[in-house]
Chains A and B, each alone.
Chain A
Amino acid sequence: MSDPRHNSTELPSKPPIWNDPKYRALFFQAILIAGLAFFGYTIIQNTLSNMEARGISTGFAFMSEKSGFDILQSLIPFDSDSTYGKTFIVGILNTLLVTGLGIIFATILGFIIGIARLSNNWLISRLAAVYIETFRNIPLLIQLFFWYFVVLKSLPQVRNSISFFDSVFLSNRGLYIPSPIFENGFIYTGIAILAGIIGSLILKKWARKRQEKTGQTFPVFLSSLGLIILLPIIVLFLSGNPLSWEIPKLGRFNIQGGASLIPELFALLLGLSIYTAAFIAEIVRSGITAVSHGQTEAALSVGLTPAQTLRLVVIPQALRVIIPPLTSQYLNLFKNSSLATAIGYPDLVAVFMGTTLNQTGQAVEIIAMTMAVYLTVSLLISMFMNWYNAKMSLVER
């Protein structure tokens, strides 16, 4: 740079296009993509024509055929007259249900155990350590069988169901609770719930502003609770209680009516949450230890309580370390939910890649569709977590 001669000389003449590294790179990349596309095309063509020649049906016509079987748990109306296409939806929803609930429980449990692991209380921290080492070192499939067995064996047989007020029943057929039947005027209560939620969001903003200005805190949590729960209840009664309940009752064999939580879902949730929580606990622990101790000391010395220090100072900073590895735990939980089929929970793999595949024999289509679902949902989870990560990351002021 300091050499004046170098500065004054003209740029070296442009190399011919086949020697220009930029074009050359582009060229090779184009060849690679074309090659891959051709490879993919050949595979698909070959597969189709081979299957055709072997007399195996191909295509997606089966999706609109009648399924002819029933599914244990469905979030949308489904019976044996529904199509194979609908089994796909039922499977996806059941997978999403157990994944969503699993993520919530695993996160809560993981945070509790992770924080307990750092507790100054010897017993608590040891117990947390034992939990972590036990559950993350036993294969999940074995844990699932274990929980399923525990659930089935420890709960009473249907005819000896534990019942609460003759409207909630617990047995090894599951937990049966009254299910709500919404009548005409219920819409007002619905509006009240929505209003309550919006109201508390506004309240939260206002309280924050006020605190920044005056330093006074406001009991946001309690008042939000009042808005979201009390308000709708008042509206419900004012509008003449347009809500009734279908009460489950003990039939000849089984409990009939009401809503139910089947033991398969319960065992799967238990297994997935407990297993994943062990990993999350370690992530939380390392996240918290990554926040320098000076932060805690500073917070304590300005008069925050230890609980406030954890909630307001340590966790927000630790989250930045926690979120990226947490994302992969969520993805693992989602993918592990496909073990459901082992204990009879009707998830996507059990219903669609299991029964539907077997009844139609269209393995290639069905497996491709199932993979596409797992891929899409995984990407969505990652995208959401990346967004959340960006939101939580350090904002320079």
Chain B
Amino acid sequence: MRKSVLLGLATAAIFSSSVQADTLEDVKKAGVLKCGVSTGLGGFSAADDKGNWKGLDVDVCRAVAAAVLGDASKVKYNPLTAKERFTALQSGEIDMLSRNTTWTLTRDASLGLNFAGVNYYDGQGFMVTKALGVDSALKLDGAAVCIQAGTTTELNLADYFKANNMKYKAITFDTSDQTIKGFESGRCDMLTSDQSQLYSLRIKLAKPDSAIVLPEVISKEPLGPVVRQGDDKWFNIVKWSLNAMINAEEMGVTSKNVDEMKTSKDPAIGRLMGGQGEKLGLDDSWSYNIIKQVGNYGESFERNVGTGSPLKISRGLNALWSKGGIMYAPPIR
């Protein structure tokens, strides 16, 4: 896997003399969207036992496929570890990355990438075994910590312990499966990651009840889809596919009522339902397809990580701005 990524990077860097990439054209020609996801993080991106990918991040891929190809199922998922993801995107192995990736200045400015919005507002937290008898991260001086390589997690952890004058030992693994096994075997006292991921890693434990997530949130982790820099048309498409989902929730348009809403008298809903496609270089039914096939943001949230899922995460920050959260999409007009 990693080899092919490197090889891809090398060949792409060497032989593509033109940088005027047109990802939209490429995706249309291929008839399938290559989307980078995680290697398996329940609720966000994970394959079920039949090999179907599901999750909040997967739904962004599906939304883009629905908008561009008219069919949300035309996605080829490429599972990537934290370490592999940016190289895979830079090299053109994937058309977009939707894998709980934190938007930071360094990533945005020096990797040749663009973040197309935020589909989950997260923050880093800690998970410890109940038996440890600890109720706050500030009592973890001297602890051994399991983390995943190539994440913002590694950096926040160092910052947090330094700021609080505490020592720790970090055991760094490549994949989340190894990380959770390290934690389970007692190699580490705690596991740290974005809080949402802690919940989904916890259900992978043999005894999920034996671990608790501590209340502290030590960082800001706005997670969102990423595209290559230098292809503004494609950047817009991914950005507005996500925005369409969020706007649809705000306007009360769901996968169930979208057909009735087509005839709505509300001009804002009318704009959501049609008339904007051409500006994005898409079919006019792009947003209808997204809502019909994938659903609005709220539906996706409930189904994958919310009350309708094993994770049971409450909306919190991710509620719409009009409902006490900070999820806010620019208007479609």
Contacts and interface: CB of A to CB of B under 8 A. Distances in A.
A binds B: yes
Interface of A: 43, 46-47, 50-51, 53-57, 68-72, 80, 149, 152-153, 157-158, 172-173, 251-254, 256, 263-264, 341-344, 346, 350, 354-355, 357-361, 363-364, 367
A351 B189 CA distance: 22
Interface of B: 6, 9, 12-17, 19, 82-83, 86-87, 90, 106-107, 109-112, 132, 139-144, 149-151, 154-155, 157-159, 162, 167-174, 178, 182, 185-187, 189, 228-230
A46 B14 contact: yes
Contact of B82 (A80, A157, A263, A358): A358
From DSSP, what is the main secondary structure of chain B's interface residues?
Answer: mixed
B186 A172 contact: yes
Given A50-B19, A254-B143, A361 B6 contact: no
A153 B184 CA distance: 10
A354 B14 contact: no
B300 to A, nearest CB: 28
Given A253-B140, A344-B178, A359 B172 contact: no
Nearest to B184: A152
A361 B111 contact: yes
Contacts of B83: 354-355, 357-358
A251 B142 contact: yes
B302 to A, nearest CB: 33
29 contacts: A46-B17, A50-B14, A54-B19, A54-B228, A55-B109, A55-B111, A55-B112, A56-B112, A68-B155, A69-B158, A70-B157, A70-B158, A71-B170, A72-B172, A152-B186, A173-B187, A251-B142, A253-B143, A254-B143, A344-B173, A350-B172, A354-B83, A354-B172, A359-B106, A360-B106, A361-B90, A361-B107, A364-B9, A367-B6
Given A46-B14, A173-B144, A254 B149 contact: no
Nearest to B231: A54
A54 B150 contact: no
Contact of B189 (A149, A254, A341, A344): A254
Contacts of A350: 149, 172
Nearest to A254: B142
B172 A56 contact: no
Contacts of B170: 69-72
A360 B110 contact: yes
Contact of A157 (B111, B112, B186): B186
Contacts of B230: 53-55
From DSSP, what is the main secondary structure of chain A's interface residues?
Answer: helix
A68 B159 contact: yes
Contacts of B17: 46, 50
Nearest to A171: B186
Given A68-B154, A68-B158, A344-B173, 17 more contacts: A46-B14, A50-B14, A50-B19, A51-B112, A55-B229, A72-B172, A80-B159, A152-B187, A158-B186, A251-B142, A256-B142, A344-B182, A355-B154, A358-B149, A358-B150, A363-B90, A364-B9
Contact of B154 (A46, A47, A69): A69
A316 to B, nearest CB: 43
Contact of A252 (B13, B19, B141, B172): B141
A251 B159 CA distance: 22
Given A54-B90, A350-B172, A354-B150, A253 B112 contact: no
Contacts of B149: 341, 350, 354-355, 358
Nearest to A153: B185
A36 B150 CA distance: 36
Contacts of A359: 106, 150, 154-155
B110 A56 contact: yes
A168 to B, nearest CB: 19
A359 B152 CA distance: 8
A147 to B, nearest CB: 13
A25 B77 CA distance: 53
Contacts of B143: 253-254
Contacts of A256: 142, 167
A260 to B, nearest CB: 9
Contact of A253 (B9, B86, B142): B142
A355 B170 CA distance: 12
Contacts of B141: 252
A342 B111 CA distance: 25
A172 B187 contact: yes
Contacts of B15: 46
Nearest to B12: A50
A193 to B, nearest CB: 32
**Lowest 5 A-B CB distances belong to which pairs?**
A358-B150, A56-B112, A80-B158, A361-B111, A57-B110
A70 B110 contact: no
